[in-house]
């Protein structure tokens, strides 16, 4: 979570897009046998011990009157299962490098407390720990992604955590797990070795962290489980390409399952702007920052290609999303913000970028899942609502594990104060049943856009559509009007002899399905 600067778009691989003003945007889809599968883990989420994400969000305790399963809210579990979240990252974030996992196991009343120095200076009572999180992931039917403590932890501590969660034989840690009520291991696959090592994870240099990574990774063994574990390096802060270069150069590929990248869409780190009361100029600046993701993925990917041409190492954008000022009257350390149509457009355009770079991007984690930053769920005591971002991720779930259909087109321009952005964003895929899905975003806040797609050679004839839009860019779902923004049927297209003619309204997200 760090300051970034805005720079221009760069394009690559399957998203060869140039800009031109024209009345109709011609989108071409390619049926490419060599195209990658869009890894479902691109649609992952993030839950940090931050504000009301865990406590008052996921976790209310088993004595709460809010319906729960072992303290975890049933309504949140149902909503996230409906979203088909493939993985969930925990316990941080910056919190991860002050977290000692043994503080969060055993009888709750015996667990020590700490102060959450990163987020509000509140007391962390460790009532939500390893068993609580991993059991919750089982309820969600999702893969856990654990971030290990490198900044203030030890090699032995992280090695013990792997053994505690994954080893079924007799050992000190598996015996301790059984003593605490869990006989069978959870078999956690994804392991982050530290978080933001360049900042809150220790203010390390890339060279120093590469050595620390090698040391920690060496002792994280999981010889019992097929395929072992995926060890993930703490990646760069946005456009710090040297960080990626140093890690790829100095860490053996057989020790490296993935490298992270963190990037937030921010107007200005010193003056982020309101989450709801924003101008079109502020919206434009947010999208300018968000769409920088194209350049970041491209350039980091090019560096990784130098050392890993077979693309065995995954790129994980394990923190992304919009970041604004907190809602008025809320704790500034809790990062609670509303979620408007701006966030829906941001999510749709960002996911299109990830889809189009599925050859390298194989996991991403929206920050964060509940009540923090660009959340998909907000709660207020017993009340719970889903946000526009939730609905975008829900209609985009059709791309999970589907084969990418590379797209190419010339985007019209969206212009504000003499600056321009591409107005149209797109990605497409073909699922295992042969259904075609095309995701379209109109970034333009004022003008509709006409799009034409030739689908004659795709083997589908009948199309349906879903749209997320609203009357105002600043509209959002509140606890009083929880369904102001929801997916609705999209009728703004015609199939004329194998050519889809589409008119997409301003600031809207559309998914078309062809069967």
Catalytic sites, residue numbers: 196, 319
- Per the listing, tokens 């749709």 go with 348
Average pLDDT for the chain: 94
Distance CA 261, CA 143 (A): 20
The pLDDT value recorded for residue 457 is: 86
Q: Residue 195 — left, alpha, or beta (φ > 0 → left; ψ -120 to 50 → alpha)?
A: beta
pLDDT at 414 exceeding the cut of 60: yes
What does the pLDDT look like over 345-395, one tens digit per residue? 999 999 999 999 999 999 999 999 999 999 999 999 999 999 999 999 999
The pLDDT value recorded for residue 11 is: 36
Distance of CA 388 to the CA centre of its chain: 15
pLDDT at 97 exceeding the cut of 90: yes
Q: How many CB atoms lie within 10 A of CB 403?
A: 18
The pLDDT value recorded for residue 222 is: 75
Contact 132, 111 (CB under 8 A): no
- Percent of the chain predicted with pLDDT > 70: 95
Contact 182, 175 (CB under 8 A): no
Q: How many CB atoms lie within 10 A of CB 330?
A: 15
Return the structure tokens found at 426.
């797109």
Size of the chain in residues: 515
DSSP state of 170: S
Give the pLDDT band (50/70/90) at residue 497: confident
Return the structure tokens found at 38.
């869009």
Q: For the residues 26-51, what does the mean pLDDT come to? A: 95
The pLDDT value recorded for residue 227 is: 67
Distance of CA 179 to the CA centre of its chain: 35
The pLDDT value recorded for residue 433 is: 94
Distance CA 14, CA 11 (A): 9
Q: For the residues 393-419, what does the mean pLDDT come to? A: 97
The pLDDT value recorded for residue 225 is: 63
Contact 418, 461 (CB under 8 A): no
pLDDT at 33 exceeding the cut of 60: yes
What does the pLDDT look like over 251-301, one tens digit per residue? 999 999 999 999 999 999 999 999 999 999 999 999 999 999 999 999 999
Distance CA 414, CA 184 (A): 55
- Across 233-258, b (16+ Cβ under 10 Å) vs e yields bbbbbbbbeebbbbbbeebeeeebbb
Which domains occur in the chain, in start order? 39-399 (3.20.20.80)
Burial status of residue 468 (CB atoms within 10 A of its CB: 0-12, 13-18, 19 or more): buried
Can you list the positions of beta strands (E) in 230-313?
230-237, 258-265
Q: How many CB atoms lie within 10 A of CB 84?
A: 16
pTM of the model: 0.93
Name the strand (E) or helix (H) holding 74.
helix 74-83
pLDDT at 473 exceeding the cut of 50: yes
Distance CA 192, CA 17 (A): 34
Name the strand (E) or helix (H) holding 88.
strand 87-90
Contact 434, 515 (CB under 8 A): yes
Distance CA 273, CA 327 (A): 10
The pLDDT value recorded for residue 21 is: 44
Return the structure tokens found at 276.
């709801």
What does the pLDDT look like over 187-217, one tens digit per residue? 999 999 999 999 999 999 999 999 999 999 9
Q: For the residues 478-497, what does the mean pLDDT come to? A: 96
The pLDDT value recorded for residue 23 is: 82
The pLDDT value recorded for residue 226 is: 56
């Amino acid at each position: 979570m760090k300051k970034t600067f805005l720079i221009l778009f760069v394009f690559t691989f399957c998203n060869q897009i140039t800009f031109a003003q024209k009345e109709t945007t011609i989108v071409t889809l390619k049926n490419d046998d060599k195209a990658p599968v869009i890894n479902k883990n691109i649609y992952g989420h993030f839950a940090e011990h931050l504000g009301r994400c865990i406590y008052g969000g996921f976790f209310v305790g088993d004595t709460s009157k809010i319906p729960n399963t072992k303290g975890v809210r049933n309504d949140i579990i149902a909503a996230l299962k409906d979203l088909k979240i493939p993985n969930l990252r925990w316990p941080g974030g910056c919190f991860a490098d002050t977290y000692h996992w043994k503080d969060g196991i055993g009888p709750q009343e015996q667990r020590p407390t700490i102060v959450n120095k990163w987020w509000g200076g509140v007391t962390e009572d460790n009532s939500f720990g390893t068993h609580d999180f991993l059991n919750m992931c089982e309820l969600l039917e999702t893969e856990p992604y654990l971030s290990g403590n490198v900044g203030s932890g030890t090699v032995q501590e992280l090695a013990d955590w792997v053994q505690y969660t994954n080893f079924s034989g007799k050992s000190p840690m598996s015996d301790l797990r059984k003593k605490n009520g869990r006989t069978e291991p959870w078999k956690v696959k994804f392991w982050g070795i530290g978080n933001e090592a360049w900042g809150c994870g220790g203010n390390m240099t890339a060279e120093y962290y590469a050595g620390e990574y090698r040391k920690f990774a060496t002792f994280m063994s999981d010889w019992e489980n097929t395929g072992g574990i995926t060890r993930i390096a703490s990646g760069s802060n946005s456009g710090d390409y040297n960080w990626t270069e140093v890690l790829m150069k100095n860490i053996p590929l057989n020790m490296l399952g993935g490298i992270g990248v963190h990037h937030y869409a921010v107007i200005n780190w010193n003056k982020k702007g309101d989450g709801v009361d924003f101008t079109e100029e502020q919206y434009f600046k947010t999208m300018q920052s968000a769409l920088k993701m194209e350049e970041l993925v491209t350039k980091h990917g090019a560096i990784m290609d130098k050392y890993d041409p077979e693309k065995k190492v995954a790129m994980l954008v394990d923190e992304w999303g919009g970041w604004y000022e907190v809602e008025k009257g809320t704790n500034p350390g809790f990062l609670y913000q509303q979620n408007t149509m701006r966030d829906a457009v941001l999510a749709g355009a960002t996911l299109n970028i990830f889809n189009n770079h599925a050859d390298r991007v194989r996991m991403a984690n929206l920050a964060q899942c509940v009540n923090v930053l660009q959340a998909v769920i907000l709660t207020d005591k017993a009340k719970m609502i889903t946000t526009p971002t939730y609905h975008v991720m829900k209609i985009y779930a059709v791309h999970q594990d589907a084969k990418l259909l590379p797209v190419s087109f010339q985007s019209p321009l969206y212009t504000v104060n003499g600056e321009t952005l591409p107005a149209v964003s797109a990605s497409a895929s073909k699922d295992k049943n042969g259904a075609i899905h095309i995701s379209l975003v109109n970034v333009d806040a004022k003008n509709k856009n006409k799009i034409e797609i030739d689908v004659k050679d795709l083997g589908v004839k009948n199309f349906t559509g879903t749209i997320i839009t609203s009357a105002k860019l600043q509209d959002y779902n509140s606890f009083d009007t929880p369904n102001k923004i929801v997916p609705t049927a999209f009728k703004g297209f015609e199939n004329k002899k194998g050519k889809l003619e589409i008119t997409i309204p301003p600031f809207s997200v559309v998914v078309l399905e062809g069967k």
